[in-house]
Structure 1
Amino acid sequence: MKLKFFALLVFSSLILSAQLTIKGKVVDEFDTPMPFVNVIIKGTTNGTTTDDEGRFAFRTKKNRGVLEISFVGFQTQTIKVNPKTKYLNIVLKEGTDVLEEVIVVTKPKKRLKKKENPAYRILKEIWKRKRRNGVDLVNYYQYKEHKTIEIGLNNLDTAFIKNIFKKDYKKAIKEIQYDSDGINYYIPIFLSEEVKKVYGDNKTGKVREDIEAEKSEGLGAQGFVFDRMSNTFQNIDVFRNNITLLRKSFVSPLSTDGFATYDYVLYDSITDNNTKLYNIYFFPIRDQDLAFKGNFWVADKAFTIKKLRMQVVKGANLNFVRGLTFEKEFEVRNDSVYIPTKNAYEGDFTFLDKNEANKGLTIKKTIYYDDYVLDRPRPSGFYDIEKQKIRPDQYERSDAYWKKEEKESIEDTYKLIGSVKKKKQIRKITGFINTVSSGYINLRGLNLQLGPFWTAFANNEVEGFRTRLGFRTFKTKDDRFRLSGHLAYGFKDEEFKYGLEARYLLSYQPRITTSVAYQKDIEQLGSTLFNTTQLLGRTFGSTALFSRGNNFFLSDVEKYATNFDYAINNNFHIGFNFTHATIKSASPENFSISYLDDVGNLASTVTDVASDVYLTFTPGRFVYGLGVEQRFGRNVFPTIVINYRHGYKGFLNGTHDYDKIQIKYNQPILLGKFGLLDTTVEGGKTFGELPVSLLSVIPANQSFSLVPNTFSLLNFYDFVTDTYVSTHFEHHFNGFILNRIPLIRKLNLRSLLTFRAAYGTVSDANRRLNDGVVNSNGIENIQYNTPNRVYYEYGFGLENIGYGNLRFLRVDAIWRSDYTPPTNSIAVPTPKFAIRIAIRPGL
């Protein structure tokens, strides 16, 4: 299932368009590229530093100015720049460059102690003032936020441009922008803008956000992938000790524990608007750590950050990431209050490796903040009002509005995207991205998609080799109605299986959805404990291509189901399900789910007529899409699910009356540089006498792949319970251990530890219900083998295995505790140790 994120990891960041673009390369007299050279518009902080190859690129609102290029030990150069300046090749000569105002140091070969480092004094003052800076200092605040997101293809050569534009090549080449290297080209394929007003009350902690306008153009309507990409990077608070990025924790260069991760270099100083600014560079001590390199400007006396630029080091080796850059600018008020004025994020992503010559995908995201009003309270109840977007066209505005609000000249970009999105080659590229990320293939002109492709083939003992063709209707990601289904065929049992589900968005505000489904298919009921809104069976137990041992423990299920879901808000849902399911063994000669009915007769079919009422709470989760189907971001958030189920005997021929309550809680915990701990705890209780097919089975996993919240060294139906509790813990060290081991750290591997445990019981009444029941071969193959003591599995693993950018393989070594396996079982005995793999293509 994780393959649906495979192309999502080809994405995310932002845009810095302006009137003058300055690009070039800095080398020394021997033509050797010079990294970390300061390139800046003289008298300002507007500029950048060269990368590892000596290249630089930045944009400025100024039409002209004097570019100053400086590096310790070399002669400073100044060059006049104007709109005619295209690409600068700069050679720095060795010389003297003495700064009288500050002590200048280079990155030491031997680390300086903190008190010996001139930057330490400045950082101490920054740490003291962390809590005093920003809008958090005032009681009330408001401001306007203008966000621009651009996605495009980078590193394109003239042959690629000619292939796309053909006869229009000469005209197009004049409109297309240069890439950051100033040699190859960049083509935007998606652009969006959003303007909103933000109001905050620090006394109560309440924040109100009112969207004022939205605008977009490009190839973003084919799927959720562009929404996902656009929101990969949320606001990054550099004043926190740890920064959450792509579900990983990076140490901030302004962290109070920064000296354990970074080397700091006090480089030089300038005077800007009568304020003296110090320029401090920072470099990771270990290149493989989840850290940044860059520099920041600090105002003297007030010790507030004026501007910060940082990028993820290549050694961090994030999948598909060739480069991530972040810039922040602040305005200082009253020597103590800083307020953000601009955040800029830019990501460069490639598929196979990080080779600079390969084509890639650029994501740019720029946020401007202005119209600040501080300490002006609003009327009572103002901050409680929540304005939600409920229609795709809700905040459309006129061209005159956007011309007034425009922060940068991007009209030409919109025109270029309008032309590019019609090109066949570009549509193929974006279609491929959406296919890999979602698993569905677009049938152009039919508003229909086939997939997902990762469920197309499977194998099990009942059906043999199984093929499956799925489909769904899809016009845009905001479709109000969606029809989906599948047709499957087993080559051993020579039978067709199928399912169909229709979903409709009844109301945008409040958000109310309903769905109905019918299914006649094979299911593995012992591979999951419960779900809420999934009406069609999609359990991995019957869809795995390769598995351990044999598996006859499959059920033939014919089901009618309906769902009604009410969203109090995006992350708090109340829902109701009603199902009518007829369940029987898919292989009665090997696996019996028969039971003794009320008069003591043997019954082989269960008719489960039941209703579910559930609550789901996911605070902080990112939600995308306004149609009946939504998608969720991969950010860190807790999940709480409570489900109450009641079975009806007699109604619509239901065979059993029962009650079941289940609770599940998942909490990822970021532990700074020590990694991420993912914890899950769930439990349930069933009231009533039930056959095995309606009890709670501790989820087993007989496939060779890792599946979340299952036990890899159990067979299906090893533990059948009516009362249970289970826990799952995974700690991902994100390189904290292996990055500190010589030689091994060069492999860029990541380590992890796992622990899973389960405990359950079953009542005597439920044991008696199945006593003496045998399959058609006379074998009593299902036992109520509840764990009389805690059953657990533990292990360690390595992830980030692969080559180049393709590092999505994970391998776990797993052991289990001793337990007494079921007797007279047709299942192969479970191993005490196993190696399991997983594909985790996520960033």
Structure 2
Amino acid sequence: MKLNLAILLLVLTTTIQAQITIKGKVVDEFDNPLPYVNVYVKGTTYGTTTDDDGSFSFSSKKKRGTIEVSFVGFQTQTFKITPKIPFLNIILKEEANVLDEVVVVTKPKKRLKKKENPAYRILKEIWKRKRKNGVDLVNHYQYKEHEAIEIGLNNLDTAFVKGIFKKNFDEAIKTINYDDDGENYYIPIYLTEKVSQVYGNNKENLKRVDIEAEKEEGLGAQSFVFDRMSNTFQNVDVFKNNITLLQKSFVSPLSSDGFATYDYVLYDSVVKNDTKLYNIYYFPIRDQDLAFKGNFWVSDKNFSIKKIKMEVTKSANLNFVRGLTFDKEFILKNDSIYLPSKNNYIGDFTFIDKNDANKGLTIKKNISYKNYVLNVEKPINFYDVEQVKIRPDQFKKSNNYWNQHHDNTTKSTYKTIKTVKGKRKIKKLTGLLNTITSGYVNLPFNIQAGPFWTMFAQNEVEGFRTKLGFRSFKTKDDRFRISGHVAYGFKDKEFKYGAEARYLLSFQPRITTSIAYQKDIEQLGSVLFNTNQLLGRSFGTAALLNRGNNFYLSNVEKIATNFDYAVHNNFHIGFNFTKANIQSATTPDNFSINYIDQNGIEQNSVTDVASDVYLTFTPGRFVYGLGVEQRFGRNIFPRIVLNYRHGYKDVLNGTHDYDKVQFQYNQPLLLGKFGLLDATVEAGKTFGTVPISLLSPIPANQSFSLVKNTFSLINYYDFVTDTYAATHLEHHFNGFILNRIPLVKRLNLRSLITFRAAYGTVSDKNRAINRSNLSYNTPDKMYYEYGFGFENIGYGNLRFFRIDAIWRSNYTPAAASIAEPTPMFAIRIGIMPGL
């Protein structure tokens, strides 16, 4: 998500409307006042509950819409809002054959200890059974699942809609729906559906999912952005203690530690079909916490959840989120098992702030389950079949098929999308979103220019540097893609360039190949290794503002090729072959890479001819796109990379024979309400005698911005190693600490702490051939940096900034001949847009 939502929402903001006051009283048929009745403007957060006398009063910015009056056991009533709404005298009638017993327990003004709370006994029984629910209670199961994801523009006023349809407004308005508040309009712009047959074996922990049909329509069908938005809501498991949502951990209302986060109120109980159901409401103790408010119904026989509603509070420490609601319903099967029947997720996102008057973006995800078959055993080898989608139209079905699966509402949505997707104003909105999130601008002939955020940079060799990139792009599923760039330095007056062509050889198994050529400047001391990235993209030549002087740049002319085989979407085996000519990009006085060759002759350049074999494993990662270029989701997943490199001497004029083994493991860990720990460990060793250009400098960062897995308080080439180990730890508290501090919590800031360390050595043989003007210093006593910071800095939803205070260890390398002084403390800024 993150920035993907932000720019589209920028153009959807309107001014605040005047408020109206709504007053009234609610009584039953015998004129008895009804306390705690819900009185709300439907689809909004405007509303209240009646007091002990049945009276209510609240303000609303909505001048039109529907007031809904509801109370368990009584028939719900609705009223239209008018500009001069009168005092409402409302009589609620009791529902027949529904309510046999009502026990009203008001929320105490003072928090009760959990053992004193009437809801505690029920929750204890839920906790005992939470590990086995629904289909987990049977040995074998199967069912049909229908998933629909819709994205649309909400809270649109009449003027905006007229601007879209112009002369056809009167006709179009007949098909455009109102928002839930019944006041402004909602226009869908993208809809995708999937029907699947699901089979499971709980005895062997096996599962098989067969996709039966897929359908997609709308402006997002050709971009990665809407794929990512479509996966905003993964299926929420309310029985887990913590729920992962938007890359953050929310405490489940059914958590065994829920009383530390929620106030629970046993509201009432209902006897229905000889089963007693308890209705429990829950509220976050602190509104800023990542938690929900809502209620759930639970059976008294087996303490299974019948229905649960969850809503993220508007005050929660989340950006761009005006509203998130989740509804889950369960059906009773075989008189003892509650099975999922329906999941509804709705997200309402705005750009500048969460004001109800602003236009926004709605994402809806609806999942229905039916045709359950329980305890019908399938052979074990039945589950060996894995269905893999390899073509965009692989599961396309006829209109006759979808007519059987669509209701009138869905058919109307598709009709509306087909109408609006050709409208110029809507295409501009979605085009702007795609441009900002990808960094590329559409040009004629299926060419895109970008990314624009690397267009300008500054360094001591090139001076002011400008760079223009390009790529071919017809659809997200292009089988062939070419990309490249042209750069120019205003100080050295040199053009640099590079290009890469990639082709998808096979859909199944997925095999890609690519070839690239580059003649450009690189900062070889800023990264330790990469796998299938052929063109150099080091930040050392891309930063606009830097600390100190950086002459440590190299001219690199290389040709490279890659072959990548996907054993699985998240398990790749690859092979690279490169030939690179490397020289210093400046004079020897500023930066030299000289060395003594095997004949005792001093050389000033390296020809590196090498091959790489790598393995990458990313279990649980979301992958989008079926073409040669794929995109990856922002969900939480580990990453393991193993790379073996061999250098060839005398092959294509290669100058060195060596071997290098490198390993990296990244593991983000969600620690419940305590936040997210992002941990990385990496290590490597070079076997053979090689010059500085082929060794492994500890990655430095001399820019004033934060860069992942680098050290901010050392200079490029301060530490040069052939054997190294490093770790990078960042813990993001996600507001856990600052939400508990009075006054400070209003700022919606989030705190974090960091720790980075490196250890390394270099052999005597590699020291002996060094004739550069840099000394080979190594962190053989371990070098480390530590700090703390604040993120989510900004205004309203525009909280893109992070500030870190960083200190370093006292271990300082011996002074090199051209080394810049290194600070002991620094403040660094990061631009990290997020929710």
Aligned-partner Cα distance in 2 for 1:230–1:569: 22
The secondary structure found in structure 1 opposite 2:239 is: coil
Residues 1:5 and 1:538: Cα distance change in structure 2 (over 3 Å): farther
Residues 1:93 and 1:836: Cα distance change in structure 2 (over 3 Å): farther
Residue 131 (1) aligns with residue 131 (2): yes
Residue of structure 2 in register with 1:140 after alignment: 140
Equivalences for residues 645-794 of structure 1 within 5 A: 645-770=645-770, 773-774=771-772, 780=773, 782-794=774-786
Residue 28 (1) aligns with residue 23 (2): yes
Residue of structure 2 in register with 1:372 after alignment: 372
Contact 2:719–2:813 at 8 Å: present in 1 too? no
Residue of structure 1 in register with 2:828 after alignment: 836
The secondary structure found in structure 2 opposite 1:181 is: coil
Contact 2:101–2:270 at 8 Å: present in 1 too? no
The secondary structure found in structure 1 opposite 2:790 is: strand
Match of 1:808 among 800, 804, 807: 800
Aligned-partner Cα distance in 2 for 1:425–1:327: 33
**AA paired with 2:349?**
F
Aligned-partner Cα distance in 2 for 1:35–1:283: 19
CA drift of 1:822 comes to: 4.0
Contact 1:37–1:50 at 8 Å: present in 2 too? no
Residue of structure 2 in register with 1:20 after alignment: none
Residues 1:51 and 1:37: Cα distance change in structure 2 (over 3 Å): farther
CA drift of 1:221 comes to: 3.1
Contact 1:559–1:581 at 8 Å: present in 2 too? yes
Contact 1:497–1:521 at 8 Å: present in 2 too? yes
Give CA deviations for 1:555-598 in whole Å, capped at 9, x if unaligned.
Answer: 00001000000000100000000000000000123000011111
Residue of structure 2 in register with 1:236 after alignment: 236
Aligned-partner Cα distance in 1 for 2:169–2:100: 54
The secondary structure found in structure 1 opposite 2:567 is: strand
Contact 1:35–1:51 at 8 Å: present in 2 too? no
CA drift of 1:408 comes to: 6.0
Give CA deviations for 1:282-313 in whole Å, capped at 9, x if unaligned.
Answer: 11000111101111122232321111111111
Contact 1:319–1:841 at 8 Å: present in 2 too? no
For structure 2, list consecutive stretches of 5 or more residues without a partner in the other structure.
10-19, 27-33, 50-66
Residue 449 (1) aligns with residue 448 (2): yes
Aligned-partner Cα distance in 2 for 1:232–1:270: 35
Contact 2:583–2:593 at 8 Å: present in 1 too? yes
Give CA deviations for 1:755-785 in whole Å, capped at 9, x if unaligned.
Answer: 0000000000000010xx25xxxxx3x1110
Contact 1:35–1:50 at 8 Å: present in 2 too? no
Residue 474 (1) aligns with residue 463 (2): no
Aligned-partner Cα distance in 2 for 1:54–1:414: 36
Residue of structure 1 in register with 2:568 after alignment: 569
Give CA deviations for 1:74-113 in whole Å, capped at 9, x if unaligned.
Answer: x9664389xx999998976699999983432333321112
Aligned-partner Cα distance in 1 for 2:832–2:35: 34
Equivalences for residues 495-514 of structure 1 within 5 A: 495-514=494-513
TM-score by length of 2: 0.91
Residue of structure 2 in register with 1:15 after alignment: none
Residues 1:173 and 1:478: Cα distance change in structure 2 (over 3 Å): same
Residues 1:222 and 1:580: Cα distance change in structure 2 (over 3 Å): same
**AA paired with 2:506?**
S
Match of 2:819 among 813, 827, 834: 827
Residue of structure 1 in register with 2:613 after alignment: 613
Residue of structure 2 in register with 1:266 after alignment: 266
Aligned-partner Cα distance in 2 for 1:602–1:97: 97
Residues 1:824 and 1:119: Cα distance change in structure 2 (over 3 Å): closer
Residue of structure 2 in register with 1:6 after alignment: 3
Contact 1:152–1:363 at 8 Å: present in 2 too? yes
Aligned-partner Cα distance in 2 for 1:88–1:114: 46
Aligned-partner Cα distance in 2 for 1:819–1:85: 70
**AA paired with 1:800?**
N
Equivalences for residues 455-470 of structure 1 within 5 A: 455-470=454-469
Aligned-partner Cα distance in 1 for 2:83–2:650: 81
Residue of structure 2 in register with 1:519 after alignment: 518
**AA paired with 1:795?**
G
**AA paired with 1:495?**
E
Residue 531 (1) aligns with residue 530 (2): yes
**AA paired with 1:414?**
Y
Aligned-partner Cα distance in 1 for 2:2–2:286: 29
Residue 51 (1) aligns with residue 45 (2): yes
Aligned-partner Cα distance in 2 for 1:50–1:389: 40
**AA paired with 1:836?**
R
Aligned-partner Cα distance in 2 for 1:115–1:52: 34
Residues 1:36 and 1:591: Cα distance change in structure 2 (over 3 Å): farther
Aligned-partner Cα distance in 1 for 2:43–2:281: 10
Residue 484 (1) aligns with residue 478 (2): no
Residue of structure 2 in register with 1:79 after alignment: 77
Aligned-partner Cα distance in 2 for 1:336–1:116: 30
Residues 1:293 and 1:385: Cα distance change in structure 2 (over 3 Å): same
CA drift of 1:50 comes to: 6.5
Aligned-partner Cα distance in 2 for 1:579–1:114: 65
Aligned-partner Cα distance in 1 for 2:760–2:37: 64
Residues 1:411 and 1:516: Cα distance change in structure 2 (over 3 Å): same
Give CA deviations for 1:4-25 in whole Å, capped at 9, x if unaligned.
Answer: 952246799xxxxxxxxxxxx9
Aligned-partner Cα distance in 2 for 1:659–1:180: 64
Aligned-partner Cα distance in 2 for 1:820–1:367: 58
Aligned-partner Cα distance in 2 for 1:89–1:240: 45
**AA paired with 1:287?**
D
CA drift of 1:275 comes to: 3.2
The secondary structure found in structure 1 opposite 2:389 is: coil
TM-score by length of 1: 0.90
The secondary structure found in structure 2 opposite 1:166 is: helix
Aligned-partner Cα distance in 1 for 2:82–2:399: 31
**AA paired with 1:210?**
D
Residues 1:203 and 1:683: Cα distance change in structure 2 (over 3 Å): same
Residue of structure 2 in register with 1:22 after alignment: none
**AA paired with 1:728?**
H
Count of residues in Structure 1 that have an aligned counterpart in Structure 2? 797
Residue of structure 2 in register with 1:440 after alignment: 440
CA drift of 1:653 comes to: 0.3
Aligned-partner Cα distance in 2 for 1:625–1:219: 16
Match of 2:791 among 795, 799, 821: 799
Aligned-partner Cα distance in 2 for 1:565–1:520: 24
CA drift of 1:417 comes to: 0.6
* Amino-acid identity (%): 71
Q: Which has the higher contact order (CA 8 A, sep 6+)?
A: 1
* Greater mean alpha carbon deviation, residues 272-281 or residues 346-355: 272-281
Provide the aligned C-alpha RMSD in A: 2.8
Aligned-partner Cα distance in 2 for 1:531–1:645: 11
* Greater mean alpha carbon deviation, residues 379-388 or residues 821-830: 821-830
Residues 1:727 and 1:93: Cα distance change in structure 2 (over 3 Å): farther
CA drift of 1:128 comes to: 2.0
Residue of structure 2 in register with 1:21 after alignment: none
**AA paired with 1:51?**
T
Equivalences for residues 281-296 of structure 1 within 5 A: 281-296=281-296
Contact 1:39–1:49 at 8 Å: present in 2 too? no
Aligned-partner Cα distance in 2 for 1:366–1:355: 26
The secondary structure found in structure 2 opposite 1:410 is: helix
Give CA deviations for 1:220-248 in whole Å, capped at 9, x if unaligned.
Answer: 13420000000121111001111011111
Residues 1:580 and 1:276: Cα distance change in structure 2 (over 3 Å): same
The secondary structure found in structure 1 opposite 2:265 is: strand
Residue of structure 2 in register with 1:153 after alignment: 153
CA drift of 1:37 comes to: 5.2
Contact 2:681–2:725 at 8 Å: present in 1 too? yes
Give CA deviations for 1:182-229 in whole Å, capped at 9, x if unaligned.
Answer: 100011000111001111111222211111100111011342000000
Aligned-partner Cα distance in 2 for 1:622–1:568: 16
